[in-house]
């Protein structure tokens, strides 16, 4: 029996801000799994900001997407055919073959990227693309391993209402931090404050971000979790304490720049305040996944850490879901439900 998959591909590499015309749908026939292979029906797929870096046609730390081919990214699905003894029909898996409804692939090749069996009865399966997946581990690694956050410190988070940021805020709060979050709408700020964030600042309406941060944390910040860059990094540098630590997780305000952005005008503050600024990539922190899950499980069970999410339905809306990462028209983890 042959199956059909609708897939989302790139028509051309976006110039500047991506638009819906950069994406195109294809339909392909999928043969059922042969020896050593599994066929998976994806139920959920993730869109993530790092994918913009794969839409440039240039190899960075990861290869670019091929034009006209289904893109790749985190997905959760159910095995519907199996030719591999370790994977049974009905098992659920996380793979990196998102942006498509169905795929058949060899277990060996899937394992080179990511292939993880999950139990969808444990937590909602889409959480494995959010708090219990790559964004969650990013939050944990950046906060505890890179910034070396210690319970009770004062933490500043930009992109605070997003997938990574909302997890950072909740982890830090659970460890007794004073947390100040920066986000782009009043609704996002309300959500943050209703989940324990001490002060949430709407950077689009505040008159002076540095002054707002000084008011929210008069003694300054021990840790800054950087998701955005630009004016947020400048304001953070202005308000860090002596010996503060900055985990540079991402700088989404710069991903669509056609021209290089100007550097922070106050970078010199790193010297006087003896700050440490360290970038990181989550794939270099996989060894801490089990340690993170051991912390996450009880926090989720106690309701102290929740997955905040926005869901669009259907592969045909996957491009739109991706665009919303940059318009900010979503709350928490942006997901596409495929079934
Ligand atoms: N280092 C790593 O290994 C790693 C892994 C995962 C993610 N990241 C990075 O972590 C950051 C957050 O990722 P995420 O998956 O959690 O995404 P996300 O925060 O869920 O979504 C992106 C958010 O960024 C904000 N944003 C978009 N364009 C902006 C701009 N020009 N200026 C200011 N804010 C803007 C929007 O929120 P507002 O409405 O608040 O503006 C938007 O909702 C990104 O920089 C991403 O690249 C890094």
Same domain, yes or no: 168 and 146: yes
Ligand 1 centre and the CA of 84: distance in Å? Answer: 38
Using CA atoms, how far apart are residues 36 and 279, in angstroms rounded to an integer?
Answer: 39
What atom in ligand 1 is closest to the CA of residue 332? 20
From 16, 18, 45, 49, the mutation candidate for ligand 1 (largest count of ligand atoms within 8 A of CB) is 49
Say what the pLDDT of residue 195 is: 97
Using CA atoms, how far apart are residues 136 and 189, in angstroms rounded to an integer?
Answer: 20
Ligand 1 centre and the CA of 120: distance in Å? Answer: 27
From 98, 129, 146, 162, the mutation candidate for ligand 1 (largest count of ligand atoms within 8 A of CB) is 162
pTM of the full predicted structure?
0.98
Structure tokens at 262: 């100007």
Same domain, yes or no: 125 and 263: no
Pocket of ligand 1 (CB under 6 A): 48-50, 135, 138, 159, 161-165, 183-185, 188, 227-228, 249-250, 252-253, 280-282, 325-326, 328, 330, 334
- The enclosing domain of 85 has a CATH number of 3.90.180.10
Using CA atoms, how far apart are residues 101 and 226, in angstroms rounded to an integer?
Answer: 34
* The total number of structural domains that make up the chain: 2
Using CA atoms, how far apart are residues 280 and 142, in angstroms rounded to an integer?
Answer: 7
In a domain, 270, yes or no: yes
Same domain, yes or no: 211 and 229: yes
From 47, 98, 158, 164, the mutation candidate for ligand 1 (largest count of ligand atoms within 8 A of CB) is 164
Say what the pLDDT of residue 74 is: 98
Same domain, yes or no: 142 and 258: yes
From 204, 328, 330, 334, the mutation candidate for ligand 1 (largest count of ligand atoms within 8 A of CB) is 328
Same domain, yes or no: 158 and 172: yes
Question: Which residue is listed with tokens 């920066």?
Answer: 182
Same domain, yes or no: 226 and 111: no
Ligand 1 centre and the CA of 326: distance in Å? Answer: 8
Ligand 1 centre and the CA of 226: distance in Å? Answer: 9
Say what the pLDDT of residue 28 is: 98
| Residue with CA at minimum distance from ligand 1 atom 43 | 328
pLDDT in tens, 62-88: 789 999 999 999 999 999 999 999 999
Cβ(132)–Cβ(296) below 8 Å: yes
In a domain, 301, yes or no: no
Say what the pLDDT of residue 62 is: 79
Q: Low-confidence residues of the chain, pLDDT below 70?
A: 1
From 227, 256, 288, the mutation candidate for ligand 1 (largest count of ligand atoms within 8 A of CB) is 227
Ligand 1 centre and the CA of 34: distance in Å? Answer: 39
Same domain, yes or no: 125 and 142: no
- Beta strand ranges found along the chain (DSSP E): 3-10, 23-30, 37-46, 75-82, 92-95, 102-106, 115-118, 154-157, 178-183, 199-202, 221-226, 240-248, 276-279, 309-313, 333-337
Say what the pLDDT of residue 134 is: 98
pLDDT in tens, 305-339: 999 999 999 999 999 999 999 999 999 999 999 99
In a domain, 290, yes or no: no
Provide the domain limits for residue 264.
134-284
Cα 258 from chain centroid (whole Å): 23
Ligand 1 centre and the CA of 293: distance in Å? Answer: 23
Same domain, yes or no: 35 and 170: no
- The enclosing domain of 227 has a CATH number of 3.40.50.720
In a domain, 299, yes or no: no
Same domain, yes or no: 70 and 163: no
Same domain, yes or no: 138 and 233: yes
Say what the pLDDT of residue 97 is: 98
Same domain, yes or no: 8 and 117: yes
Number of residues in the chain: 339
Ligand 1 centre and the CA of 159: distance in Å? Answer: 6
In a domain, 98, yes or no: yes
Question: Domain boundary residue among 248, 269, 284?
Answer: 284
Same domain, yes or no: 140 and 264: yes
What atom in ligand 1 is closest to the CA of residue 251? 45
Ligand 1 centre and the CA of 227: distance in Å? Answer: 6
| Other residues' Cβ atoms within 10 Å of the Cβ of residue 68 | 12
Say what the pLDDT of residue 113 is: 94
Say what the pLDDT of residue 280 is: 98
In a domain, 296, yes or no: no
For residue 97, the number of C-alpha atoms closer than 13 Å in the C-beta half-sphere is 26
In a domain, 302, yes or no: no
In a domain, 158, yes or no: yes
pLDDT in tens, 203-216: 999 999 999 999 99
Say what the pLDDT of residue 2 is: 75
């Amino acid at each position: 029996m042959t199956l059909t998959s609708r897939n989302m591909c790139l028509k051309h590499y976006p110039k500047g801000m991506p638009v819906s015309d950069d994406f195109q749908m294809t339909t392909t026939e999928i043969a059922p799994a042969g020896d050593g292979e599994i066929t998976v029906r994806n139920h959920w797929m993730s869109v993530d900001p790092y994918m913009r870096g794969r839409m440039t046609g240039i190899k960075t730390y990861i290869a670019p997407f091929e034009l006209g081919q289904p893109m790749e990214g985190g997905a959760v699905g159910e095995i519907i055919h199996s030719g591999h003894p370790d994977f049974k029909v009905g098992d659920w898996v996380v793979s990196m073959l998102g942006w498509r409804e169905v795929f058949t692939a060899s277990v060996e090749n899937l394992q080179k990227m990511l292939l993880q069996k999950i139990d969808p009865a444990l937590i909602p399966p889409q959480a494995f693309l959010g708090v219990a997946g790559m964004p969650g581990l990013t939050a944990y690694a950046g906060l505890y391993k890179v910034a070396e956050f210690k319970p009770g410190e004062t933490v500043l988070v930009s992109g605070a209402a997003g997938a990574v940021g909302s997890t950072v805020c909740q982890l830090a709060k659970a460890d007794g931090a004073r947390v100040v979050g920066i986000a782009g709408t009043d609704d996002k700020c309300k959500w943050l404050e209703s989940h324990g964030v001490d002060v949430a600042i709407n950077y689009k309406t505040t008159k002076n971000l540095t002054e707002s941060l000084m008011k929210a944390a008069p003694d300054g910040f021990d840790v800054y979790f950087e998701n955005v860059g630009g004016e947020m990094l400048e304001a953070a540098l202005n308000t860090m304490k002596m010996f503060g630590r900055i985990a540079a997780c991402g700088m989404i305000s710069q991903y669509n720049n056609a021209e290089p952005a100007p550097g922070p005008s106050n970078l010199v503050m790193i010297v006087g305040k003896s700050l440490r600024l360290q970038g990181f990539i989550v794939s270099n922190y996989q060894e801490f996944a089990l340690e993170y899950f051991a912390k996450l499980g009880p926090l989720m069970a106690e309701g102290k850490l929740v997955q905040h999410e926005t869901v669009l339905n259907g592969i045909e809306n996957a491009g739109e879901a991706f665009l919303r990462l940059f318009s900010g028209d979503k709350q928490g983890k942006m997901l596409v439900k495929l079934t």
